[in-house]
Structures are given as C-alpha cells and as structure tokens.
Amino acid sequence: MTRYSIAICDDEEDVRSLFHDWVSKAKDDVDVKEYSGGDELINDIDAGAGIDILFLDIAMGKNDGIETAKELGRRIEASGKSMRASRPLIIFVTGIPDRMGDAFGVKAFDYLLKPVSQAAFESELHRAIEELNRLDAQLICETKYQNEKDRFISIQSGKGTINIKLRDILYIESSGRKAIVHLPGIKHEVYRQMNDFEDELGNSFFRVHRGYLVNMRHIKGYSRSEVQVDNGDALIMSKYKYADFIRAYMEFIS
C-alpha cells in the first residue's frame, strides 16, 4: 500500500497541531509535515521533500497561500511534469468566503471553510487519498504499457486497409458475422472473428462477454453486470467472466 505524505501549511500553530492530530487519527499509514509559511514549504520542496496532499491556508500574513500555490504551479510547469502526475494535491483552508473562488484559479483540488469540523476535514482527506490512488493507478497503466503506444493492428473495411493503434481502441463488439471496432468518435465494421482479435490484442484487452472485448486502459468503471468505458458506453459483463475479469484488471493496474 502506498504511504502518502501530508503537509499542513498554516501560520497558526494551534491550527497546525489540530489538523496534524486529525490526520493521525484518520490515517495511520501517512507521514505528516507542518509548515508555518509558504517560503518554508517551498524551500523544503526545493530540497527534495515529497508532498502528496497539502492543506494550505490562504491568509498567512505576508505568505499568501494563493501565491504559494502559484509558485508551486510554476515549478511543476518548469519541471516538464504533467499536471495530472504532479504533486501535491492542494486543499485550501480559508476563513474568507470571498477568496474561495481563487482556489480554483490555481488548480486546487478543493477548499475547506474555517472553522473546519473534524468530520469535514477527514472527509476531504479520504477523498484526496482516493483521487491519488486513482491517478497512481492510471499512471502505472500508462508506464507499464508505454511500449505498446505505437503498436497497431490492420483491418480491412469498406475503405480499404486501416491501421489502428491499440491504445486508441475502446472496445470491439461482435455483430453477427462482423466485428465492430469502436474508437473515440468513430467505428469500423469488419468481417473478422472476435477470437482472432482476442488472440492478437494481448493482455491489455479482456473478453467481458462473448459479444465484447474491452481495452482495459479505457475502463472508467465496472460492476458485476456491466463495464463502463471512456466514451460513456456500457458493456454487458458476463456473470461467468466477472471473477476472471477482476483478476485480470487488478493485474493490469498493478
């Protein structure tokens, strides 16, 4: 299990201590750091400190939380990292309702309005950790299958031979003697058996039903009865396939 690092940046020591205590009670598998101002936080990050979730006070005297967040954003942009892969997730904490809108101008994850209740704080903490887990799972998939990004298959359609990158395929649907290859915004009908596709496409695809072969990199959600893909389509999940699907999907993201 991933051990995340939580930072609390607030110029009030009592607030930092209270939030620190709430984090420790809510999660025992995290590290907690405290900062009294934005400069201290930035200097520690520049020195190599890794922070996954940051509770950042907006009004900290001369160390404005919004400016601190903007400075973090400039560093991320200069590093060349994608914003989706970057850390930390910022949760602004403010006692000034008029400044809540500023939080969304610097790609903040969310905000909390003072006085903050323990229940609201813990709920936001758990939600942020769930988001990190989701992002990390996606990044693992992209890294693990990066060598597949240029792989393609060739299909024969009414327009001739078409080369399609595997990563672009959402799913393949069986339709009588034909198969329908679904891509974002377009689909191709071909005379080809689903078994042939299944053999060729490899472990990043799974046959969730005799009529559907889904690209696991495009799964948005699933249940015992269906799989949702990125374009919003819902594919039937065979009850006989569910257990094997769970094993395959967990292997895919791990």
pLDDT (tens digit, 9 = 90+) per residue, 112-151? 988 999 999 999 999 999 888 877 776 665 665 555 556 7
Confidence of residue 153 (pLDDT cuts 50, 70, 90): confident
Residue 165 sits in a domain whose CATH number is 2.40.50.1020
Residues 229 and 202 in one domain: yes
Q: Please report where in the chains the tokens 């996954």 appear, as a residue.
A: 52
CATH number at residue 96: 3.40.50.2300
Q: Are residues 138 and 157 in the same domain?
A: no
| Other CB atoms within 10 Å distance of the CB of residue 123 | 13
What average pLDDT does the chain have? 86
Count of C-beta atoms within a 10 Å radius of residue 174: 19
Q: Which of 84, 110, 144 is the last residue of a domain?
A: 144
The total domain count for the chain is: 2
Residues 87 and 155 in one domain: no
Domain-ending residue, one of 89, 111, 144: 144
Q: CA 117, CA 245: separation in Å to the nearest integer?
A: 41
Whether 120 and 191 share a structural domain? no
Residue 202 has what pLDDT? 81
Residues 104 and 166 in one domain: no
pLDDT digits (tens, 9 = 90+) for 31-50: 999 999 999 999 998 888 88
- Identify whether residues 48 and 130 lie together within a single domain: yes
Report residue 24 as tokens. 């420790």
Same-domain check for residues 66 and 89 = yes
Q: Give the residue, 102 or 69, on which the prediction is more confident.
A: 69
Q: What is the pLDDT of residue 117?
A: 95
Predicted local distance difference test score (pLDDT) of residue 100: 64
Query: 221 with 242, same domain?
Result: yes
Q: Show which of 144, 167, 199 is a domain's final residue.
A: 144
CB distance 248 to 216 below 8 Å: yes
Q: Which pLDDT value is given to residue 86?
A: 58
Same domain, 134 and 184: no
User: Do 124 and 71 have their domain in common?
Assistant: yes
- Tens digits of residue pLDDT in 204-245: 899 999 999 999 999 999 999 999 999 999 999 999 999 999
Range of the domain at 176: 150-253
Q: Indicate whether 124 and 194 sit together in one domain.
A: no
Query: What is the predicted pLDDT for the residue at 138?
Result: 66
